[in-house]
Structure 1
Amino acid sequence: MKSSQIVSVSRPGFQDRLQHWLPKIVLAPSMILVLVCIYGYIFWTAYLSVSNSRFLPSYKFVGTIQYEKLMENDRWLTAITNLGIFGLLFILIAIVLGVGLAILLDQQIRQEGAIRTIYLYPMALSFIVTGTAWKWMLNPGLGLEKLMHDWGFTQFHFDWLINTNMVIYTLVIAAVWQSSGFVMAMFLAGLRGIDASIMRAAQIDGASLPVIYWRIILPCLRPVFFSAVIITSHIAIKSFDLVTALTAGGPGYASDLPALFMYSYSFTRGQIGLGAASAMMMLMSVLAILVPYLYSELREKKS
């Protein structure tokens, strides 16, 4: 007599199906919001940039006319030039100061926690607060210049805030003051992650401390350098609140930046198409920095 084997296939119950679909259900609203409010509006802005929109959105396709107008706009050209000056100096100085402070704190100095907190504190402030505070300090009538005059140094002048040739550098000062502590924290975390035996081996071989940091430690922090450049570049490109609070783009539009230009033309001058074109140019600037970075990271992981 042959024994028959009975194979029973249990169908998934309600709880199993719920457990399978629950994460998707929970994440669905967030995904929908991201798709609509971020990527959806990016595509909408891209379409407005090739339309003849003015005070209200219009969906008549006009090609690259808005971009041609943008490239002929003197204020936009000034904003792009200012962004180049501001971005280059801000990124360079913030990284140099951040690396220097991180190396200083890496020497296990006294009161390291207090010093680290002092340098990190500005990052806890908004750029509106930073811009307002530096506007008071750099104002010739009530800030640093007035203080020096009250102390008897009547020949001292620091009128960068009202000087059309120097006002862009006041933005650099305020931005570096706020962000260099954050860059310091990034590099300090990177330094603390390096094996101490590397430094001990180099010291045994007779290498001095500056040579160890320059030839061995800093090259190991290449990913941190990349991250610092990406973050500071993003801050520079999207800077709006800082320039609004500190200079309002003035005198005239001598300290204008693309973000302030985009806001002005989109919401106060009634030229939505031109403002959308400037927004897309800012997005392409961010992608021009971000895409090579992501490509290099993915390439390193594959290798």
Structure 2
Amino acid sequence: MSDISKPASAGVAPRRPSASLSVRLAHWLPRIVLAPSFMAVLIGVYVFIGWTLWISMSSSSMLPRYDFVGLEQYVRLWNTPRWHTAVINLFLFTALFLAITIALGLLMAILLDQNIRAEGVLRTIYLYPMALSFIVTGTAWKWMLNPDLGIEKLVQSWGWESFAFDWITRPDFAIYCIVIAAVWQSTGFAMAIFLAGLRGIDGSIIKAAQIEGATLPRIYASIIVPMLRPAFLSVIVLLSYISIKSFDLVLALTNTGPGGSTEMPSTFMFAYTFQRNQMGVGAASAIMMLMTVAAIIVPYLYSELREDSHGH
């Protein structure tokens, strides 16, 4: 009876506490690290979006109120002529801004894609305006477009005394001054995205088309540019977002003048919320801007998710 019977679990090695702890730590550590940023986004973005939506359906004026008046503030918003001007300006500005920026950005990307000399220097020069804030851009272009200081004064000093470039002082042309400044700042950004797309295309495609006798312009128009669809989509979405939130550029360049002719939804929202003490109308305009952004972002996300699902 000297042999002591072994327990049933004697052949099974016990789990080490350190291994179990490391597994749990690896499982929870990413969640712990991301929790503060998740809470910040949740509160700083989505909670305040909900709060703005509630204020837009209340009778808030100078101070917020938490009653419910339905769509009354939205009716007031769309009955305001200044809001109609802002919406028209937004669509005009966005259409011209997108068309000109995309055309110039694509052209510059194609030219740089020919492996020209000093490509790095030119790319840096084109991208430099994007490093500036819209406040700086607006202030600089305000000086250049000033008839008494800028381009008009310079050209007249060269002898062309009949030259006139006073768009910034004319209500029917001032919006185009904002387009010029925005295009100048964002064209390099569009060029960089298109250039990245061009560099991702297999060069054998161009060589095969050249063997078939296709000219270089025909190759770009019929083959290369259609393959840049993801780049076009990204540029359109990002530039549209920039145009919708173009607050600082308008404020620095024209201050919504002359005579409110360059009003934008962003400047309207700021003026009615903080200057005219009509918080409900300002919140309603902010929700309309959010819906405009969503109308752009949601189809883009849907397209990206659809491509990912088909890719897998």
Determine whether 1:49 maps to 2:23.
no
Give the C-alpha shift of residue 140 in structure 1.
Answer: 0.6
Tell me whether 75-84 or 11-20 shows the greater mean CA deviation: 11-20
Q: TM-score, normalised on structure 2?
A: 0.94
Which amino acid in the other structure matches residue 97 of structure 2? Answer: F
Distance 1:114 1:42 in 2: 43
Determine whether 1:188 maps to 2:195.
yes
Determine whether 1:114 maps to 2:121.
yes
The answer for the alignment partner of 2:249 in structure 1 is: 242
Give the C-alpha shift of residue 294 in structure 1.
Answer: 1.2
Distance 1:280 1:9 in 2: 60
2:302 maps to which of 260, 275, 295: 295
Distance 2:40 2:7 in 1: 59
Determine whether 1:233 maps to 2:234.
no
The answer for the alignment partner of 1:10 in structure 2 is: 15
1:133 maps to which of 133, 140, 147: 140
Distance 2:213 2:80 in 1: 59
Give the C-alpha shift of residue 9 in structure 1.
Answer: 5.3
The answer for the alignment partner of 1:35 in structure 2 is: 42
Distance 1:2 1:237 in 2: 77
What's the C-alpha RMSD, in Å, of the aligned pairs? 1.6
Give the C-alpha shift of residue 22 in structure 1.
Answer: 2.4
Give the C-alpha shift of residue 153 in structure 1.
Answer: 1.1
2:153 maps to which of 146, 153, 157: 146
Give the C-alpha shift of residue 301 in structure 1.
Answer: 2.0
Which amino acid in the other structure matches residue 15 of structure 2? Answer: S
Tell me whether 23-32 or 102-111 shows the greater mean CA deviation: 23-32
Distance 2:152 2:159 in 1: 11
The answer for the alignment partner of 2:131 in structure 1 is: 124
Which amino acid in the other structure matches residue 52 of structure 1? Answer: S
Residues 52-98 of structure 1: CA deviation (Å, up to 9, x unaligned)? 11111111100000100111100000000000110000011000000
Identity of aligned residues (%): 60
Query: Which sections of structure 1, spanning at least 5 residues, go unmatched?
Result: none
Give the C-alpha shift of residue 292 in structure 1.
Answer: 1.1
**Structure 2 CA distance for partners of 1:273 and 1:12, relative to 1, 3 Å:** farther
Determine whether 1:76 maps to 2:83.
yes
The answer for the alignment partner of 2:67 in structure 1 is: 60
Give the C-alpha shift of residue 3 in structure 1.
Answer: 9.5
Which amino acid in the other structure matches residue 171 of structure 2? Answer: T
- Which has the higher Rg, Structure 1 or Structure 2? 2
The answer for the alignment partner of 1:200 in structure 2 is: 207
The answer for the alignment partner of 1:270 in structure 2 is: 277
Which amino acid in the other structure matches residue 233 of structure 2? Answer: F
Determine whether 1:97 maps to 2:113.
no
Distance 1:257 1:286 in 2: 14
Give the C-alpha shift of residue 162 in structure 1.
Answer: 0.6
Distance 1:52 1:8 in 2: 70
Determine whether 1:261 maps to 2:289.
no
Give the C-alpha shift of residue 16 in structure 1.
Answer: 4.2
Which amino acid in the other structure matches residue 296 of structure 2? Answer: I
Give the C-alpha shift of residue 138 in structure 1.
Answer: 0.2
Distance 2:231 2:23 in 1: 44
**Size of the alignment, in residue pairs?**
303
Give the C-alpha shift of residue 252 in structure 1.
Answer: 1.4
Determine whether 1:285 maps to 2:292.
yes
